[in-house]
Structures are given as structure tokens and as C-alpha cells.
Structure 1
Amino acid sequence: MAILAIGLAGAVSFAVCAWLTTVAQPWAFYFSPLRAWEFAAGGLAMMAPARFWRDRPRLSAAQSCLGLALIAGAYLMVSEDSPFPGVIALVPVAGTVLVLLSGSGASRSAAQNLPISVLSLSPMQWLGKLSYSLYLWHWPVIVYATMMVPDLSWPGRLACAALTLALSLFTYNFIENPIRRNSWLMAGAARALVPAVMLTGAGVVVAYGNARFAEHNLSPEQRVIASSAAQSSTVRATNAGCVLDLETIKPNPCVFGAKDAEHSVVLFGDSHADHWSTPLIKAASKNNYRVVTYLKSSCRASRVTTWNSRLKRDYTECDQWREQSIRDIIALHPTLVVISEFSMGNMMRESPDEKHANWNEEWRSGLRWTLGAFSQAGIGVAVNADKCVARALWRGQTPAACDTQRVIAANDDFAKEERDIVRGIPNATYLDMTNRFCDQTTCHVFIDGMLAFRDRHHLATPFAATLEPPIERALFSKVAAQK
């Protein structure tokens, strides 16, 4: 009965965890009930009959090697960009389960099972006893260390490991064990539950007090950043779930404004196109247009295959989505297509091979092809230039104050090349708002008391909303002239 209950709880926990990882990854990672399936897997492994593996030492040895290989593989392959925890978390959990199962029969087969015999050594057993303490301490040590020293060297990392071990030893011997072995607490579950609730409550109170104290001591500039960040976590089209993820291929057009409007404008591109959705939708509504968005994460409108650092391969899903989206947009025949993309990304391919040595020419040809496809269909097209400060922040070339010399941030030579491509296409317009961010010498992150960017290369929504008037003048005056 216990096995059935643990198995069922683990299955439900895993299913919800895998789903939530694709929707709200931080909740899937930090919400304990959604990680319960990992504990369930370990518990079921230890409830399995040990006799089976004691009678099969060769199987036990092979199983332990496979388990350790899975754990090592997960360590090497899973990166901070991986959708973790989710289905991918099965790899290290499965490896741990295999090691636990093979270890249950180690008493007779240790000589034939080298991995298990190594794990049975006293130093390894000692580390194993401290493993939970190490798990609790390693993260705060890393977080505070990187806050104080952003570029942590290898000696610094080793010092963090030593500090984590020292803190773990202290808490294990002077806090955990005394509480765990206290005879009064062990006498009844209620006695242990009440102190646990009180300690948890105390932790919540301390955390809340610390947050309020930090908020009270923010500088005026920090308050602007905090306020803008809170308002800028998402933008208009993203809120509607219209920016597709990496794997989705089928276009998902979203309609904003009056759906029965006689004319429409299409916003086409990646997340850099999305952060223009707020002013574009507002401007379109004023002119009785509807806006239809075709947006996909990290997918450029230019017809060029890119390397995706998260997928660790060519982004073929983007190619398929782009082709179908262009066909759909031409069939829709809007009055105007507005294109925006992470232009600097075109010059920063991360592919480990040399297949695309002439990357700039590929991008030029791809942009001309996309623009030409719409132009030949009799559809007006406008290309919105990528932002100057976005490029600088992505490069990591800004000073501490974030304001950057225009010669570094704006990349006016690249913008000129992009503008020349657009001018060579009939019915195409180039829209450049660099001067909204930059003066003749400097590009700014704070503009008129507002934070212009919500991260390294995306506009903050409140600031994007202020760009509606120039967007309206630049785009809808052109549209009116074409009627």
C-alpha cells in the first residue's frame, strides 16, 4: 500500500512539474511539492528487494556504471538555459536510482562493483552524510560571493567550496544532529511539528523584514529601476501568449484592436519585435487598424538559418515557422508589415563550426529575400532599427552608469548597411529611433526619468508606450499616403 501511495504521488508530482516547467519554470523549480517525485523515486528504490541485486553481481556492477554515467552526463549537458526541472530531470534522477539499486546488493559483490566499492569508502560516506547540509549552504554562498565579486576566479570558487563545507560541518554537528536526536522531540510528532512551524514562521518574518529594510534604503535611481522592472516583466503581445517558444513551428497569429477593422498591420519578428507591440497597437487603434502579430522567440524575420545556443544546434524550427508565417501574411494581405529583429544577433553567431563563415552576406541576402517577398505581393513593409543601447548592453561594453558612447552602442555603420538594403526594396521603409535613445555622443539607459530597458536588450514597457506618437507618425502617415 505504501509503495502504491508513494508511486502515485510521485507520478502526479512529476506530471505537474514537467508541465509547469514549460509554463512557469521558477515555480516548478522552487515549489517543493513539484520536486516530491524525485524523493519518491529514491524512496521506491530503497524499498526494492535487495536480494535481486545480491544474486546478480554483474548486473549490479553494470547498473552502477550506467547510473554514474547518467549523473555525469546530466552534469555536463544540462545548462542554465535548459528547461529544468522537467523531463530532462529524469536523467540524473534515473542515474541516482540505478546507483541506489546496485548499492543495495553491495555486501556480496563489492569486489566486482568498482563504482559501489569507491562510494563505500569512508571519505565518500562522510561527504554523503553532509550532502544535505552542503545542498542547503552552497547556493547562498555562491549568490553572495558573485554579488561581491562578479568575476569569480577559480581560487575564489575553491574558497566558496571550502566555506560551504565549513558551514555544513558546523550546522550538521551543532544544529541538525542535536535537533534530530533530541529525545524530547522524538517522543511525539506534535512536539517536532510545533518548533518546525515556529522556525518556518520566523524565517518568513526575517525575510520579509529584510526585504522591507532593503526597499526603504533604495537610492532614487534604484527605485526607478525597481518600479520599471515591476511594470516591464512582460510586454503587450507577450501577455497574450503570442510569442512562440523555441520548439513550436505552427504560426499563432494574435489579433489586437478591432477585429472587424477594414485594414490591418502585421508585426513580424522575434522578441525585439514584441517590445514594439505596445506603441504599435495603441497607434493602430487610433487609426482604426487591427494589429496581427507573428512572433517567435529568438527567430529573425530575415530568411537565414541561425544557431540557437539553448538548443545547441541550427534553429530549424525558426526556418519552418518563418516560411509558413510569410505565406500566411501574404495570404492575409495586410496594408503594412512591420519587421523588427535582434539585428546585432546576426553578427554574433555562436555556432561552433565554420559552416557560415560568410555570415554577414547570408544575413543581407536573407533580409532582402523577406522584404522582397512582401514587396512583390504588393504589401508595404517597414523595418524598425534595433536599439543602440540594447547592442551595447548585450556586448557588455557599458560603464557602470550604463550610459555608453554612441560610437560603441549605436553601430551607425551597421544601421546604414541595413538602411541601404531596405531602400533597395520597392514599398519598403526604414524606421530608425536611435535618436530617441542617443544624442550625438552618448546613448542613455535612463531617459526622462524612465528606465528604457527591462533587461540587456529589450525595451521596458512603460518607456515603449511613450514611443507611440513617433510610431504613429512614421508608420500610419505612410499607410495613409498609400491608400
Structure 2
Amino acid sequence: MLTVLTERPLPSAVPRTAPTVRDDLSGLRGLAVALVVLFHVWAGSASAGLDVLLVLFGFYCGRRLLEGFTAGYSFDALRSEFSWSARRLLPALVVVVAASGVATLLLQPRTRWETFADHSLSTFAFYQNWQLVNSAGAYAPAGEAVSPLQHLWAISVLGQFFLAGLVVAGLIAVVAPRRRRRAVFVAVVALAAVASFVYAVASHRTDQATAFYDSFARAWEPLAGVLAAAVALRVNWPRWLRAAAGAVGLTAIVAVGFFVDGAEQYPGPLAAIPVVGTVLIVLGAANLLDAERLPWPSRVLQSVPLLSLGTMAYALYLWHWPVLIFWLTHSDEDRAGLSDGIVVVVVAVALAFLTQRLVERSLRAAPNRARHGHAPTMSLVWTSVLLTVAIVVALGSAGWRQYTNTIRANGADLLKLSAADYPGARALLDGVPVPKLPVRPSVLEASDDLPASIVDECISDFGNAALIKCTYGDPRASRTIAVAGGSHSEHWLPALNRLGQRHGFKVVTYLKMGCPLNTDEVPRVSVSNNPYPGCREWTDTTMASLVEDRPDFVFMTTTRPRPTAPGDFVPENYLGIWDTLAAHDISILGIRDTPWMYRDGMVFSPVDCLAEGGDPEGCGLPRSQALGDYNPTLDYLDRYPNIAPLDLSDAVCGPDVCRAVEGNVLVYHDAHHLTSTYVNTLADEMARQLSEATGWW
């Protein structure tokens, strides 16, 4: 399958008018994987390297499929292609996933084992990219909390593309006349490429985070390589034009990563820069029998370092990311510096070299050895070992998933916890005694201890700009509190729902993940800082709906933490929202934001810390770092008399420390969201403050 990383000689029956193995493209593979590694390690961004590999994959795959039409397709031929690609792809993949599994068990907290289990299973099934799409997570740069298998989404895309290519080729071989099969195939590819590009541009504008992993949005890149394979057969350019094409292509590929962050811009229209650059290099040296006539860019790509990297490109791509992630986990850093980055690169290259020599080359040569009468003993041993390892990893991952599901099923009793045994916030507010009991929710239950709006799908995810309204509290009440904004408004919903039922008001949700109501023209995701155009569209729709619905109060956050400095503040982009609500005489319940767990400018998860054996105080944060001396919203009350400030900081943090656990109840389920169980324990304090703000009871 991944002939993008190592060419396979064409069938002997195919007439050859030019060399079938192009060293310049092997060198281009090496350059591409070097760009991927260097940008991941030191820039924390996506270069053009992966896009180059996608196009090269399409070129090699397309060339073989086109030649197959010439030689005549049969079931045996298609099966041979599939078998060869499986031998090329799976052994190294199994080795890296298994090694990453061992490192995950040794280095990462139990709270991250589930993500590894999910990613390992989806990797072996070649659908990891769709798993990432469904998780509504934007591309995350390397960090100690990021999955060591996140980069394998690209392998899933290529696997799906390869299988689709075989299916299309087989269908055309069945239904089209033999002399017209190539033309039909090229026409189908051209139409698919255009459709995919249009879809990529549209999806990039509406939801770039999802489009990044979308197979349909990515398909135009390898399809461009297939078209290049079809065109290359007819290239007869003069030498100066070949040199110009190669120079432009090489410059575009190397330079674009310094000006365009692929994590934010690909696979949208700017991805055409590395794609066209790759196609120019492919065509610039096509059909040249005499190596001395190669244009100078192709001779540069034939240099020994690039050819060496090209030989181990696949293995290096597999290894570099987990090595980087586990180094960051070990060093407790969020970025690699110069010296430790060099160590990461050297280790990844060494592992890739060993994998290519001992695993890939050995198994790839097995059929040839068998055909010449040699007993492929080592190959059989390797195959047996790798098959066993793959089964163990898959069963272990499935078993852990089942275990965590069982733990979560047992978490159904969280709403029935004894107030005496699990006082939660009441231990802070009322000083009630706290018996020694296991923390609830446990570290494995925490990720599912969420507001009902998540289960009910009453919050728009990152890829959905539509407004979704749901009603909680007392649906028959005439008084309404609208809970509006992002997840930091949402996580107070359990207490609001309980109080609405108790005191006779309904709670209507106007929520979108990662999108507090703000006036930014180009909002950004808070932690990753990626552009979030869907937030702008959703905010406009929501504000219009709030003005029309006229709730009694809009419940929303009024502050944010300072990620690089102590304390919290009122963002300027909130004020325009307040102006609009004030102009329409709509009152605001302004809740001070929850302390975010920032340490040295990086977010950390108290749950992970506890899973690694930390204690509640050590896994918390000094209050002085998370919060100012007073609620900064108070500075704006003269300007905005329609705001009733709410501050539950004393129900979350002690006088000196915001601890990970209070009153035997886990406070946070990640770095900055409260568990629903803990929010329920502070309902009485919220009731007191709401009573003062609304006068309803």
C-alpha cells in the first residue's frame, strides 16, 4: 500500500521506456519526512512534508494501477497488490504501536490509557482519522498530554485510499472495454479530485479542525499524484523547463512551512502550494533515460542524506511522534528545546533504521527467498511474533476499554452519594468533617462525569455552528435563566437544573464548545489558539435568539484566566456582548470563571496527577496563581448595572490552594472543567447567591 515510501518495481511484462525507480523521488520522500519531523519537534506545527508524501503515494499507487490496465487486471493481480502492501505496511506499524503501548503503561497515567486503547484499535482497523473527526478535537501540536498515536491518522487515510483505488480499478476492469480502461480510470480520478478539492475548500471554511482529518477532504492530494502519474508518461519538456519546474517545486515545498501552518490551513486551498510543488518535481524529471540529463533540483534530491532518509521514511514517520511525546512526558515539558530535540531526532532515526533493516527489509524479501527455494525461517519467525504482538495489543486495548466502561457503569451511583461521606464543596464552605473514603468520581470515572447537556447533545460541538436549545429545571415555569456561551458556562448546569426544579424556573441552554460569547471577528480556540470561524457564526445566531427570546437572566462567564500571568481578568471582547444585552434590557448573571490549572504557562490535568500517585494539594494550584484578590467583574458594575456578579471561587478553592479533591469529591475532570458531582455539592451556595441576584426566593 504505502509505495509512497518505497517503490516497488513494475511488473516485468510492462515495457519500460524510462527507469522505474527514481532516486530523486526517493530523496523527495526523505526531504518530506525530514520536514515533518523537524517541524513537529521544534516548531510545534505541521509542515508541507505530509502533503508531499500524500501526493507521492498517489503517484506510485496511480502508476501501478495504470500499468495494471496495460498488463490486464485479474483477481490474482489485485490480491498480489494487496498482499505486497500489507507486508510493507503492517510489520513496522505493529512494532511501533506495541512499543508505544509499553511506554504508555510505564510513563503515562492510567487516565491516558483509554485514549491509547482507542487509537491502537482504530489504527489497526484504519479508521483513526474518523475517530478524531468524531471526537471533535482539532489537530494538537506535540505535548505530554497528546496521544502517542495521533499521527497515525494519516496512515488510516492512505489505507482507505488504497483500498478504494483497488475497488475502483477492479470495477473498471470488469465494466469497461479493455482499450478504454485507462481513459475511464483517469476521467474518474479527475472528477474525484475536483470534487474532493471543492469539498476541502468548503469544509475548511466551515470547520477546519474536522476537515484536517477528513478522508474526503484529503483525497484530492493523492489523487493529484495519480493524475501526475498519468501525465508523466507524455512529458517531453526541454531541459530549461524541467529545471524551472523542479526549482519552483522544491522552493515551494521547503519554504511554505515557514509561512503557512498546515495545522490551521490544510487541506484548504493553501495546501495546493506543496501539492503543485510535488507534481512539478515529479513531472520535471519524468521520462529521462539518461541520468546525466536530470535537472539540477532532481540531482540535489539524489544526495546521499536524502536518499538515506527516503529509504527509512515510513519507519521514521511512525517513530518520530511517539518518541517525541514520551520524551515530553518524561521531561514534563510541553515543547522540546534545541538539545533535547536533537536527542529525540537521533533516537527516532536510530529506531527507524533498525526497524527498516530488521523488520521491513526482512519480511519484504520473504517471497523472493521462497521463490528461489530458500527457507524463509527468519521471516516466518518475524511474522509469527508480530502477529502475536498485534493480537496481544488489540486484546489488551479492547480489555481496557471494557474495564473502563464497567467502571463508568458503576458510576451511576454518583448522584446518590452520601452528603456526610462526600460533602464536596460543603467541606470548604461549612467546614464539615471529611471521613477517609475513596475519591469519587474516581480518576477513571472522571472523564464521563459531565453535565446532562453532553449526553443530551444540547451543546454544539466544534464542527457545528447551529444553535441547539434544550430546557432543564422546571419546564413549566414562566421564569427563565438562559445558560449561554461555552463549556465554562455549561459545567454549572447540574446545580442550575437542581435549583430550577426546587425553586420553579426553567433553564434553557445556548451552548457551543469552546465558544464563550465574544465579539472577535476571528475567534480562536482557547488552549490551541487555532482559528474558530464557526464560533463567530454561532455567536451571531445566539445573540439574535437571546434578544428575541428575552430570558429573565443570561447566565454566562464574565472573566478568564491569564495563561502567562497570575490571576484572572475581564476580556475586552466580552464587553460588546454585554452592551448588546444591556441595550435590550436583558439582565446578566455573571459567573466568575473557574480557575484553570496553568503551571508555567501550560495547562495540566489534576486527574492525571492523581492517577500518577499525587496528592490533592500537590495536584492543585496555589490560589494566588489562579485568581486575583477579588472578582475583576466588580470593576465593571458601574458601567453595566444589568450584571449581577456571581463568584463561587470559595466553593472551589481554599484560602491558599485550589486542590484537586475537596470533601472526598474530585473537583476537576480535566484541566479546567468541574465534575458534575462536585457542582452538585455547591448547589446550596449557588442558591444563596442566585437568591440575592434574582430575588426569586
Q: TM-score range, shorter-chain basis?
A: 0.7 to 0.9
Residues 46-65 of structure 1: pairs in structure 2 closer than 5 A:
46-52=229-235, 54-65=236-247
Change (3 A) 1:372 1:41: closer
Q: Deviations over 1:18-60 (max 9, x none)?
A: 599988968974x9999776555434433433341x3244443
Is 1:129 the counterpart of 2:311? The answer is yes
**What is the CA-CA distance between 1:196 and the residue it aligns to?**
6.8
Is 1:172 the counterpart of 2:359? The answer is no
Q: Deviations over 1:414-451 (max 9, x none)?
A: x1x31242365334311100011112222112223333
Question: Which residue is equivalent to 1:206?
Answer: 393
Picking from 420, 434, 444, the partner of 1:226 is: 444
Is 1:384 the counterpart of 2:568? The answer is no
- How far, CA to CA, are the matches of 1:115 and 1:153 in structure 2? 32
Query: Conserved in 1, the CA contact under 8 Å of 2:449 and 2:669?
Result: no
Change (3 A) 1:184 1:335: same
**What is the CA-CA distance between 1:247 and the residue it aligns to?**
9.5
Query: Conserved in 2, the CA contact under 8 Å of 1:67 and 1:96?
Result: yes
Question: Which residue is equivalent to 2:653?
Answer: 438
Query: Conserved in 2, the CA contact under 8 Å of 1:270 and 1:298?
Result: yes
Is 1:276 the counterpart of 2:492? The answer is yes
Letter in 2 for 1:263: R
Letter in 1 for 2:341: R
Letter in 2 for 1:252: L
Is 1:155 the counterpart of 2:370? The answer is no
Picking from 322, 326, 339, the partner of 1:140 is: 322
- How far, CA to CA, are the matches of 2:498 and 2:381 in structure 1? 55
- How far, CA to CA, are the matches of 1:247 and 1:103 in structure 2? 45
Residues 13-162 of structure 1: pairs in structure 2 closer than 5 A:
29=213, 39-52=222-235, 54-73=236-255, 75-76=257-258, 79=261, 82=264, 92-105=274-287, 113-151=295-333, 152-162=336-346
Q: Deviations over 1:280-300 (max 9, x none)?
A: 344334445433333445544
Question: Which residue is equivalent to 2:508?
Answer: 292
Moved more, 461-470 or 32-41: 32-41
Secondary structure of the structure 2 residue equivalent to 1:254: coil
Is 1:411 the counterpart of 2:617? The answer is no
- How far, CA to CA, are the matches of 1:260 and 1:8 in structure 2? 57
Matched pairs, number: 455
Change (3 A) 1:201 1:259: farther
Residues 301-320 of structure 1: pairs in structure 2 closer than 5 A:
301=517, 308=524
**What is the CA-CA distance between 1:113 and the residue it aligns to?**
3.2
- How far, CA to CA, are the matches of 1:106 and 1:460 in structure 2? 65
Query: Conserved in 2, the CA contact under 8 Å of 1:394 and 1:457?
Result: no
Moved more, 252-261 or 268-277: 252-261
Question: Which residue is equivalent to 1:351?
Answer: none
Change (3 A) 1:168 1:464: same
Q: Deviations over 1:319-361 (max 9, x none)?
A: 676466434322211111112155225998xxxxxxxxxxx89
Secondary structure of the structure 2 residue equivalent to 1:126: helix
Letter in 1 for 2:591: N
Query: Conserved in 2, the CA contact under 8 Å of 1:243 and 1:271?
Result: no
Change (3 A) 1:297 1:34: closer
Higher relative contact order (CA 8 A, sep 6+): 2
Which segments of 5 or more consecutive residues in structure 1 lack a partner in the other structure?
349-359
Is 1:330 the counterpart of 2:547? The answer is yes
Question: Which residue is equivalent to 1:352?
Answer: none
Query: Conserved in 1, the CA contact under 8 Å of 2:211 and 2:267?
Result: no
Secondary structure of the structure 1 residue equivalent to 2:674: coil
Q: RMSD between aligned alpha carbons?
A: 4.9
Which segments of 5 or more consecutive residues in structure 2 lack a partner in the other structure?
1-68, 70-168, 170-181, 405-437, 610-617
- How far, CA to CA, are the matches of 1:7 and 1:478 in structure 2? 67
Task: Indicate the percent of aligned positions where both proteins have the same amino acid.
Answer: 23
- How far, CA to CA, are the matches of 2:203 and 2:662 in structure 1? 37
Query: Conserved in 1, the CA contact under 8 Å of 2:494 and 2:679?
Result: yes
Secondary structure of the structure 2 residue equivalent to 1:158: helix
Question: Which residue is equivalent to 2:471?
Answer: 256
- How far, CA to CA, are the matches of 2:342 and 2:629 in structure 1? 44
Letter in 2 for 1:383: G
- How far, CA to CA, are the matches of 1:127 and 1:347 in structure 2? 39
